[in-house]
């Protein structure tokens, strides 16, 4: 480019200065790292505890006979999914033990991309959508950092059915291939949504799910294979065609979310060649004569076993992505995070089989730890292998973290959801933790993280409204309204599984006037209760969220039969 500029220039000083500036900009862009963000779907901490050796043993000791002597402590040592790829990712970088997200898919995703808690995005349930007025960090990567950008897999930021909210190209992605909805109708027959150079940012195309394959995996329309193959192809093309240009990939699985197909089962037995030996053997042992790989005919396999199998397939695809990146470009940061806790309510939807003692009435869709605590690991240049952080961090922090990894400035304020003002960014960059082992990025007492939810259709509690706030040690959860009688109080250090609520003070009127100090649990209840009253949607009785008629799943086109039993291409 420099030689061409000289050839066609008038050799003026201004032109030379422009060339120098352009060269410097290109040089800076070539030094920026690639970033791969991988998001699991409905996979809580409980399903992936193998990423954290010794964690379950420690909990058993804490709640067993030598600790609190809980009568059901044996439930803690259950059976997580087989996750060798995630385990390897955790070993090769930093694993986070106290990562929070929101209680549903879309609230978490919208917080990640905007750096804002749900009260500011207006997305509090799985039917909400992100306003076009919001700022996406992806646009900064593209416009200020010179990144190529692509998103693959589940979007669930633009709403459901009508997709009125922010779509991938509007968020700053050059390319999108996946499914805009919250879930697929089946994993082998699903709407394949595309936004590329031929589409205006507000438009998308819908095609039949294509057939894809990977080494050792037969050609199939199985969604995780298709999306992984698409991502690998794009990354490979970027590295070959423009190796000096950095790229960012947002890769979001649909696994291990239920499907729109309810019968014979909303879960599936994955294609056999997408699972490891551990998971295949479990499926072979439970499926019986009526079960079949690559279908929703699950035989006698339990909900918990199906959850493990689908999570293992997610892990296999994660491994393929990481292998590709490792071969192509080591200057890449890889981030894995779940989007919310594991599902544990409704017929054929009870999947928690590890770690937690009280399971019903909690999990995904609630602000209990089983709904908001997820696994998270980050690997990349200058991050110490095998490192671990017990700092309390949040999915919202990826907004600032990714911008800093890219060497870009993090905005302090961004547009609000109505576009008529500015709001402060809630995101806190975790780069000091990654590179310096820092702690205390949020004040341990006055700092806080929020989780908020409206659970519109749930057997947990219909139309449940809930907000939780935590600091380094304590947590308050309030239902329906922020009145203290509707709230519960926990010490997450002494009681990480939330089995023993603490006593609440009779009032908080004078808590800042020397009645208590941060050395007293009562002070923390009052402080976190204050956060819920002043900062969460529960404390705003006139709060109006965006609403639009929605469909829980995209429907199969009229006249198209949807058989219970699928026959994917190349089925194993």
243, 330 in Cβ contact below 8 A?
no
Q: Which pLDDT does position 19 carry in this prediction?
A: 35
pLDDT tens per residue, range 101-136: 999 999 999 999 999 999 999 999 999 999 999 999
Quickly tell me which residue has 């609440």 as its tokens.
504
- The arrangement of strands across the sheet holding 487-491 comes to 449-455, 464-470, 474-479, 487-491
54, 90 in Cβ contact below 8 A?
no
One pLDDT digit (tens) per residue for the chain, 572 residues = 233 232 223 334 333 343 344 444 455 666 899 999 999 999 999 999 999 999 999 999 999 999 999 999 999 999 999 999 999 999 999 999 999 999 999 999 999 999 999 999 999 999 999 999 999 999 999 999 999 999 999 999 999 988 999 999 999 999 999 999 999 999 999 999 999 988 899 999 999 999 999 999 999 999 999 999 999 999 999 999 999 999 999 999 999 999 999 999 999 999 999 999 999 999 999 999 999 999 999 999 999 999 999 999 999 999 999 999 999 999 999 999 999 999 998 889 999 999 999 999 899 999 999 999 999 999 999 999 999 999 999 999 999 999 999 999 999 999 999 999 999 999 999 999 999 999 999 999 999 999 999 987 665 677 789 999 999 999 999 999 999 999 999 999 999 999 999 999 999 988 988 889 999 999 999 999 999 999 999 998 777 544 433 444 444 333 233 333 343 333 33
What CA–CA distance (Å, rounded) separates 55 from 58? 5
Q: Which pLDDT does position 388 carry in this prediction?
A: 98
Which alpha helices (DSSP H) does 287-441 contain, by range? 303-328, 369-372, 398-405, 431-436
- DSSP H or E stretch at residue 547: none
State both tokens at 530.
């204050």
State both tokens at 382.
């200058």
State both tokens at 56.
């379950």
3-state class (DSSP) for residue 121? helix
Residue partners of 502: CB distance under 8 A and separation at least 6: 489, 490, 491, 521, 525
58, 49 in Cβ contact below 8 A?
no
pLDDT tens per residue, range 318-354: 999 999 999 999 999 999 999 999 999 888 999 999 9
Q: What is the largest CA-CA distance in the chain?
A: 84
Q: How far lies 286's CA from each of 289, 290, 428, in Å? A: 9, 10, 45
Q: How far lies 289's CA from each of 265, 272, 301, 306, 454, in Å? A: 16, 16, 11, 16, 41
347, 356 in Cβ contact below 8 A?
no
State both tokens at 121.
């995005």
3-state class (DSSP) for residue 138? helix
3-state class (DSSP) for residue 541? coil
What CA–CA distance (Å, rounded) separates 334 from 328? 13
What CA–CA distance (Å, rounded) separates 524 from 489? 9
3-state class (DSSP) for residue 394? strand
Q: Which pLDDT does position 30 carry in this prediction?
A: 65
Beta-strand pair 387-394/413-415:
unpaired
State both tokens at 140.
């900064």
What CA–CA distance (Å, rounded) separates 122 from 132? 12
E-only strand ranges, 228-364: 247-252, 332-338
Q: Which residues lie across from 240 on neighbouring strands?
A: none
State both tokens at 462.
């219909």
What CA–CA distance (Å, rounded) separates 76 from 380? 32
259, 184 in Cβ contact below 8 A?
yes
What is this structure's pTM? 0.92
What CA–CA distance (Å, rounded) separates 148 from 247? 5
522, 511 in Cβ contact below 8 A?
yes
The DSSP output letter for 167 is: -
Buried b or exposed e, range 295-330, using 16+ CB within 10 angstroms:
bbbbbebbbbbbbbbbbbbbbbbbbbbbebbeebbe
What CA–CA distance (Å, rounded) separates 334 from 441? 22
What CA–CA distance (Å, rounded) separates 198 from 10? 36
3-state class (DSSP) for residue 346? coil
* Of 207, 237, 211, residue with least CA distance to 225: 211
The DSSP output letter for 569 is: T
Write out the DSSP string of 415-439.
Answer: E-TTSSSEEE------HHHHHH---
488, 475 in Cβ contact below 8 A?
no
The mean pLDDT of the chain is 90
pLDDT tens per residue, range 183-232: 999 999 999 999 998 889 999 999 999 999 999 999 999 999 999 999 99
What CA–CA distance (Å, rounded) separates 449 from 455? 20
**Chain Cα centroid distance, residue 13:** 50
126, 138 in Cβ contact below 8 A?
no
Residue partners of 331: CB distance under 8 A and separation at least 6: 33, 34, 381
For the chain, domains (ranges, CATH) are 34-539 (3.40.720.10)
E-only strand ranges, 440-545: 449-455, 464-470, 474-479, 487-491
Q: How far lies 418's CA from each of 90, 116, 490, in Å? A: 39, 14, 35
């Amino acid at each position: 480019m420099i030689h061409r500029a000289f050839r066609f220039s008038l050799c003026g000083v201004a032109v030379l200065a422009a060339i120098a500036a352009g060269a410097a900009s290109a040089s800076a862009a070539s030094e920026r790292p690639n970033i791969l963000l991988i998001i699991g779907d409905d996979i809580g901490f409980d399903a992936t505890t193998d990423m954290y050796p010794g964690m379950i043993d420690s909990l058993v000791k804490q709640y067993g006979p030598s600790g609190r002597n809980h009568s059901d402590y044996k439930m803690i040592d259950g059976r997580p999914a087989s996750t060798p790829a995630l385990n390897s990712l955790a070993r090769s970088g930093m694993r986070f033990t106290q990562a929070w997200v929101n209680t549903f898919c879309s609230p978490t995703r919208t917080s990640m991309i905007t750096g804002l808690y749900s009260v500011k995005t207006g997305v509090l349930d799985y039917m909400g959508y992100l306003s076009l007025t919001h700022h996406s960090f992806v646009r900064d990567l593209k416009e200020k950092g010179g990144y190529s950008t692509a998103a693959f897999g589940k979007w669930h930021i633009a709403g459901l059915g009508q997709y009125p909210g922010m779509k991938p190209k509007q968020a700053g992605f050059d390319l999108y291939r996946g499914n805009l909805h919250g879930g697929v109708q089946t994993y082998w027959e699903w709407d394949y949504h595309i936004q590329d150079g031929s589409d205006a940012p507000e438009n998308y195309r819908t095609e039949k799910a294509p057939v894809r394959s990977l080494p050792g995996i037969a050609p199939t329309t199985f969604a995780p294979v298709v999306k992984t193959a698409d991502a690998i192809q794009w990354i490979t093309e970027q590295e070959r065609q423009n190796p000096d240009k950095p790229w960012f990939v947002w890769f979001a699985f649909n696994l291990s979310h239920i499907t729109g197909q309810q019968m014979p089962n909303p879960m599936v037995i994955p294609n056999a060649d997408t699972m490891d030996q551990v998971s295949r053997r479990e499926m072979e042992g439970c499926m019986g004569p009526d079960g079949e790989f690559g279908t929703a005919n699950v035989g006698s396999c339990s909900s918990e076993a199906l959850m493990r199998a689908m999570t293992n397939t997610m892990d296999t695809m994660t491994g393929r992505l990481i292998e590709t990146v490792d071969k192509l470009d080591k200057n890449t940061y890889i981030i894995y995070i779940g989007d919310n806790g594991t599902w544990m309510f409704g017929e054929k939807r009870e999947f928690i089989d590890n770690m937690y003692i009280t399971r019903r009435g909690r999990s995904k869709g609630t602000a209990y730890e089983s709904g908001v605590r997820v696994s998270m690991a980050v690997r990349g240049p200058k991050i110490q292998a095998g490192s671990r952080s017990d700092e309390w961090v949040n999915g919202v922090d990826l907004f600032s973290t990714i911008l800093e990894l890219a060497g870009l400035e993090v905005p302090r304020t961004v547009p609000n959801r109505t576009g008529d003002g500015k709001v402060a960014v809630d995101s806190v960059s975790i780069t000091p933790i990654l590179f310096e082992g820092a702690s205390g990025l949020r004040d341990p007492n006055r700092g806080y993280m929020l989780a908020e939810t409206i659970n519109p259709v749930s057997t947990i509690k219909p139309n449940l409204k809930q907000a939780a706030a935590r600091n380094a040690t304590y947590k308050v959860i309030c239902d329906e309204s922020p009145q203290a009688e509707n709230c519960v109080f926990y010490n997450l250090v002494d009681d990480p599984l939330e089995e023993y609520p603490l006593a609440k003070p009779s009032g908080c009127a004078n808590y800042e006037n020397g009645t208590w100090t941060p050395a007293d649990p009562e002070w923390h209840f009052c402080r976190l209760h204050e956060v819920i009253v002043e900062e969460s949607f529960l404390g705003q009785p006139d709060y109006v969220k965006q609403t639009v008629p929605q469909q829980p799943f995209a429907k199969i086109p009229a006249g198209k039969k949807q058989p219970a039993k699928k026959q994917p291409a190349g089925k194993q």
